[in-house]
Structure 1
Amino acid sequence: MNNIYDKINDIKFDESKMDLDQIEYENMLKIASKYKKNSSRKKFVALAAALILVASLSIKPVRTEASKFATDIKVTMMETIGASPDSYKYVTELHKPIKLGGNELILENFVIEDNRVFANILSSSNGKAIEEIDNDIYIYKIKVNGESFKSWGSSGSARMADDGESIVNQSMITFDKDFPKLDNADIDIYISSGTSSEVVSIKASSNIVNEDNKIFAEDYKLENGASINLMKINPITMTAVVDNLDPAYSYELIGTDENGHKVQLDQRTSEDGKVTFLYNSSFSDLKLDELKDGRPINFTLTSSKRNVESGKETDGVYDKIAEFSLSAK
Structure 2
Amino acid sequence: MSMSPPPGWYTDPSAPPAQHVERWWDGSAWTEHRRAPEAPQMGRAQPGFGPPQPVRPAGSGGGGRAKVVALATAGVVLVASIVTGVVLLGEDDGEPQVEGPVPGTSEPVDPPSPTSPTPTTSAPDPDPSTLVDQLNGITLPVPDGWEKADSTVGGDPTVRTPDTYDCPGEGSLCRHGTVYSRTSTATDERSPKALALKDIKDAADRAYDEDKVGMRPFGGIASHEKVKEGIVAVAGRSGYLVRWRVRTEKGPGGYVQSLAFPSSVGSEAMVIVRFAIDARTDEGAPPLSDMDEITKGIRPVGGGETSGGVGNSVGATPP
Per the normalisation by structure 2, the TM-score is 0.29
Per the normalisation by structure 1, the TM-score is 0.28
Bigger Cα Rg = 2
Larger RCO, structures 1/2 (Cα 8 Å, 6+ apart): 1
When you count strand as a share of all residues, which structure comes out higher? 1
